[in-house]
Amino acid sequence: MIIQRLPWAGIRISEGDIVIVIDPISRILEEFGGAHEPMYPLSFFGNADAVLITHLHEDHFDPDAIIKAYGAAIPVYVPNEVAETARAAGLTNVNGVAVGTSFEIGGDVKVTALPSVDGLGDVQSAWVVEGGGRKVIHCGDTLWHGFWWGFAKNYGPFDAAFLPVNGAVLRLPGMMPSGQPICLTPEQAVAAAAILGAVRLVPIHYGTMQNPPIYNETPDIADRLAAASEGKVNISMIKATETVTL
């Protein structure tokens, strides 16, 4: 299994002849300060057989880019509750997936939808992808939650966990600020990866957006990951376009 990191939270998984992309985007909205790392058209990374979307926030769901790169009829899998919204964006082969459901993409590649917790209370799923004797989990922009132990018991261990690490704190118009992170901090991501039995943690969801006071990324991410992970889990901090082979 070869996994290429895409900008922000996206990844591209190649297993045999099957290619899956998760949360692929080609832009960061200007209201969040635009992108602080290079962005690419999705076609830059090559073809895909299926798209998995953890949730419909605009930094994880880019329907125009998906249609332009792969065509409107590419199979797109989203949480069951938001399937109609995804279809309304112009995608013609949207499949709503209930938590706990597994399905095959092709070859021996199987995908399972697991529960996840979104920082703004919106519907979100985590995705487990397995094939070729390897298994990975991608958790979108999840908060800390109590599902990790169940994931480990029922679906683990994992060869890699792709987890958000930037512990972002938001100040959005019309919402009372909490001062609390809306996704995992570096320390929480390491703890989650260790519970999951992941061989390695591949950090996602950091470095691309920073636009105070609206969007505030936690500081010193790399150093904090290194300190927290010692003796617990391997860290693979790869940039967009770089790959890991499992």
Whole-number Å distance between alpha carbons of 74 and 80:
17
Cα distance from N-terminal residue to C-terminal residue, the chain: 5
Tokens representing residue 198 in the block: 């992941």
Q: How does pLDDT run across 60-75, given as a tens digit for each residue?
A: 999 999 999 999 999 9
pLDDT of residue 10: 98
| Bond before 173 cis per omega within 30 degrees | no
Confidence check: pLDDT of 33 > 90? no
Confidence class for position 32, pLDDT limits 50, 70, 90: confident
pLDDT of residue 29: 85
Q: Percent of the chain having pLDDT more than 70? A: 100
Confidence class for position 189, pLDDT limits 50, 70, 90: very high
Confidence check: pLDDT of 31 > 90? no
81 Ramachandran zone, left/alpha/beta (phi>0; psi -120 to 50)? alpha
- DSSP summary character for residue 211: B
Q: How does pLDDT run across 42-63, given as a tens digit for each residue?
A: 999 999 999 999 999 999 999 9
Q: How does pLDDT run across 125-175, given as a tens digit for each residue?
A: 999 999 999 999 999 999 999 999 999 999 999 999 999 999 999 999 899
Confidence class for position 30, pLDDT limits 50, 70, 90: confident
Count how many residues are written for the chain.
Answer: 246
Q: What is the mean pLDDT of the chain?
A: 97
Q: Kindly report the backbone phi and psi dihedral angles of residue 130, in degrees, each rounded to the nearest multiple of 5, phi listed first.
A: -135, 145
pLDDT of residue 143: 97
Q: How does pLDDT run across 72-97, given as a tens digit for each residue?
A: 999 999 999 999 999 999 999 999 99
Say whether pTM exceeds 0.85: yes
